[in-house]
Structure 1
Amino acid sequence: MMPNEMIYTRFERIWHWVLAILILPLLLTGFEIHGDYTMLGFEQAVDTHIIFAWALMGLLVFVIFWHMTTGEWKQYIPSSKNNLMAMLRYYAVDIFLGGGHPFHMTRKSKLNPLQRLAYLSLHVVITPVTWASGLLYLFYTSWGDWGLEGLSLTVVAMVHMAAAFAMLAFLIVHLYLAITTSEKPFGYVKAMISGYEKKE
């Protein structure tokens, strides 16, 4: 057995867990604003949602800066060196038959080919759509000043809700895979707490 390898830096682990702490109340208050259930009441849900949204945007601006200055953004770029078909086969068949994992994580290459595509879509599609639609929704009274009178508030709200559902789907799949696909249950969750990945 090889010694454990440091995969996730302290800063990565901190922003990862703070991100989770901010996203969960955003989803809960967002669905309450949408009318799916009542817990805080509409006005308090809106106020809470806005506070957490600004906190999330502040965190993500800082995280984007960190990714750009450290070169960590390269982790999300699909690479021809990684075999996408082998990963698809692993998740569709081999994982259930005890087949070996075709990807081995290192500090410089943390994400397998499917993860790269998933995180890339999160960073360049889901998150920007969520931000843009949320900010438009928040400042809809200024649309006339910005020359956006033709926009439909209903359409913007539906786009924001669709992005929220996409984020929720990503979160569910992310948690499921983090808990169930490592050598030991919760292995990847433990790695995101300690920073170390066990090497066989």
Structure 2
Amino acid sequence: MKQPLGVILAGGQATRMGGGDKGLLPLGGQTLLDRVIDRFAPQVAGLALNANGDPSRFDRLRLPVLADSVAGFAGPLAGVLAGLDWAAEQGAEAVVTAAADTPFFPGDLVPQLLLAGEGMDHPLVLAATPDPERGTVRHPTFGLWPVALRDDLRVALEGGLRKVVLWTDQHDGRIARFPVATFDPFFNVNTPDDLARAEALL
């Protein structure tokens, strides 16, 4: 498979942060989004941002801004679909998604997802980490998504499906396991306390 395109999912409403764009919050002299872009861009063939509302607030980033095509804040899968439609226009086979509020995700995210998807007709893989209580935890905003399944995803979303793993399980989605050292690399910033923790982790 050719190197996939990357899509940063920033379409959430950030209610626990008081609304607004979590990705534009400062962390150690950069925004969360800047940190995600720095980590993600070297791993993919091109990058876009999934976000709703006025795209001009992201002009500084010089990235395509893709709005959800499904109305009513349909969750991460709507952002995945927007990314797949964009990728189809570029002639790409797949996208990898990353969340805009997760500044420490693995530097080898894309190669590990591709490795886990080897041998699949339409590679569909979610990132996962071990958890002492729950066993394996999947991270539904970090995945490898095939363009070939975009119309199936569109129908599922229009039918009301919102839970990522329900859709990936329907298509025999796999997982790529990532190790956890001192903290889970998919730790994301949801609250002011999380932001303070991220500052400490820097």
Q: Which has the larger radius of gyration?
A: 1
More helix by share: 1
Instruction: State TM-score, norm by structure 1.
Output: 0.25
